[in-house]
Structures are given as C-alpha cells and as structure tokens.
Amino acid sequence: MGPIRFAAGFLALTVLAAAPAIAATVTDSAGRTVTVPDTISRVYAAGPPASVLLYVLAPDRLTGWPRAPHAYERPYLAAPYRDLPETGRLTGRGDTANLEVVLRNKPDLIFDFGSVRDTYISLAERVQKQTGIPYLLIDGRFENTPEALRLMGGVLGVDKRAETLASYVEDLFAELDRTLAKVPEDQRPRVYLARGPDGLETGLKGSINTEIIERAGGRNVADPGPDAAVRRGITQVSIEQVIVANPDTIITWDRNFYGQVWTNPVWRGIEAVKRKRVYLAPTAPFGWIDRPPSVNRIIGLKWLAGLFYPDRFSFDLPAETRKFYKLFYHVDLSDEELDRLIEWASGRP
C-alpha cells in the first residue's frame, strides 16, 4: 500500500501501455491487481472525492457527478461538465447509486478515492464481480495526493497533465515543509474548525476532516491527546469547551455561523474573534478545507498557510486563486466571480 506499490503499479502500467490494444494491469492502493482496458473514455467516480480527482485530471471522462452541482457552484465548473447528470455515490454506506444506472452509463472504469479500508476493498471486489467493470481504489490521504494524481493520470493516459498537477502539489508541500521547519510547535497558531450552523461541530485532531490544519502548520485545539482511544472524526463540543481551548484562529465554511460570530456574546470573548482572526472558507465548486476531502483542499492548504504565516509564506489570494482555478478546474474566473468566491476568506475588515 506504500509508495513502492504505487511506483510498481505506475511502472507496470507505463510499460504495458506501450503495447496498444492490450489491456493493462494496475496495482491500486489496496494492493489489488486490476486489469483495465487500454483506452478509457468513460469513468464512473464512486464518490465526491473521486469525482474531484477525475475532474481535475480529465473532465471529459466523467459520466456524471455523485451529486449534481448546486446553482452557486456551477459558475466555477467548466461549461459542458457542469451539466453532467447526477449519478449517485457508491461508497458502501448510504449508497444512492443504482448499479443498473452505473451499467447504463457504460463506464470503462469505476474508481474510488479515499480511505482504503476492508469495507471498501470488499465493496470494490463485489461491484467488480457483479458488473465486470474494473474497480480501482486509490488512497485519499493528503500526503498521497501527488501519487494519486500520477496513478490515475497513468490509467487515463493523461500522464503529462497529471505530472503538471502533481508537481504543483509537491512544490507546495516542499515550500510548506521549508516554512514550517523554522517554526517551533508552540509558536504555531491554535486553530478551531467551526462546523455546523452554530459552529459547535468540529473535527478531532487526526481526523481526515482536519488534517489540512496540521499540514498548513496549525495546531487543532480539538485534541483529545495522542493516545486517547476515540474515533477521530466529526464531533460536537460545547461553547464552554471552546472558551477553555481559546483558539487564536477560527476557520469555518458556514455562512450562518460566520454572520453571527462577531456579535454573539459567547463567541465575542474568544481570542480569535477579539483579534478578528475568523476566516470563511470558499465552498465552490468544492470546499477549500474539506467537503469533500480531495484535491480541492490544495488551494485551501495554500490559503491557510498564508493566513497562519503571513510573514513567512507569501500568498496572493486573488492571483493564486485564479491560477489554481484555471489550472485545476479549467475555468477563467471573472472579477465578480472571484470576489464572490473569496469574500471574507481574508477575514472581515
């Protein structure tokens, strides 16, 4: 499941791809060897993270979106693809996809991007057996993003584009590592991720929902301790616990919460609110922090590093956003679209 397997899979693929008309074998992140057709023109993304990965690499292969884009997300997706139909998700839990609909779309490949647990492996095996369509599982951990881009790029035959995107991500990771190497742990910002309309849902440190905070050099205040035997996921906290944690930075993507945090008496005394360090993450076409946990977090990572370390990490929000949306999402943002997108992303004046 490590990088060696990826490399091996990638290598096997490139070698085999040299011989046209012969199906290639790919080793996916679960260590499964899957035979995929030589030309892949239609791909079914099993869940939202997979659909983002596919969209940034080769949007013309998408058969549809797991969930149809909302009206406010549509301007940030390229023209023909934002009208693709809703095809549901096939992730083993709360499935909304109908296998017959999946088959009717005649995909050459099904793939999922995210956690590689036994549940998902067995689901992939089952669906692959049932439909006869190859099913790949790709590890969705943040650090694995460049590898995932390259692996899928190889499968889809868009190696050059995958390389461009992967090196963008690697450059960012490297720049961050350089920046953070000089910042001792106790000088890093103490960050609270406020989710939900009242801001009292958060992700515990170590969960996939908040890994972006640590990667950008922040400390998640919702930390049960390294050895605590708790499920690392989304949880509820009380306002008193937030007051005790007293974060100096709050990030959220909930507009309702953002609108009232400045005037709400219980939040007003918290360090982050007093110092006006509460930031609203953009959510279109995909979230910047999470929602879903996929390649869309890369721009969020840059943004957070810029907020956490304005003196050490140079980040020009409008310019970088434009560049990222052009490179990854295939869209040229108008000034008005850009303004609407990043409103309050630098806090409220």
Q: Under the rule (CB under 8 A), what is the footprint of other proteins?
A: 48, 67, 89, 94, 96, 195-198, 200-202, 204, 209, 222-224, 230, 234-241, 243-244, 253-256, 259-260, 264-266, 268-269, 287, 290-293
List of E strands, the chain: 24-27, 33-36, 43-45, 109-114, 135-139, 190-194, 201-203, 219-220, 234-236, 249-252, 278-280
Q: Which is nearer to other proteins, 236 or 314 (CB)?
A: 236
In residues, how long is the chain?
A: 349
Report d(CA 208, CA 221) in Å as an integer: 15
Report d(CA 235, CA 201) in Å as an integer: 6
What values do phi and psi take at 30, rounded to 5? -90, 0
Beta carbon of residue 21, minimum distance to other proteins (angstroms, whole number): 40
Q: Which is nearer to other proteins, 27 or 87 (CB)?
A: 87
Q: Which is nearer to other proteins, 195 or 302 (CB)?
A: 195
SS3 call for 274 = helix
- Pairing label, strands 190-194, 219-220: parallel
Beta carbon of residue 296, minimum distance to other proteins (angstroms, whole number): 11
Instruction: Check: CB of residue 89 under 8 Å from CB of residue 66.
Output: yes
Beta carbon of residue 240, minimum distance to other proteins (angstroms, whole number): 5
Beta carbon of residue 271, minimum distance to other proteins (angstroms, whole number): 10
Q: Which is nearer to other proteins, 109 or 301 (CB)?
A: 301
Cα 328 from chain centre: 12
Q: Which is nearer to other proteins, 159 or 198 (CB)?
A: 198
Beta carbon of residue 171, minimum distance to other proteins (angstroms, whole number): 27
Q: Which is nearer to other proteins, 119 or 260 (CB)?
A: 260
Beta carbon of residue 10, minimum distance to other proteins (angstroms, whole number): 29
Q: 70: which DSSP letter?
A: P
Beta carbon of residue 215, minimum distance to other proteins (angstroms, whole number): 18
Which residue from 179, 153, 168, 177 is spatially nearest to 324, judged by alpha carbons? 168
- Pairing label, strands 278-280, 249-252: parallel
Instruction: Check: CB of residue 313 under 8 Å from CB of residue 179.
Output: yes
Other residues' Cβ atoms within 10 Å of the Cβ of residue 71: 7
Cα 332 from chain centre: 21
Q: Which is nearer to other proteins, 146 or 293 (CB)?
A: 293
Beta carbon of residue 338, minimum distance to other proteins (angstroms, whole number): 22
Other residues' Cβ atoms within 10 Å of the Cβ of residue 7: 14
Q: Which is nearer to other proteins, 222 or 341 (CB)?
A: 222
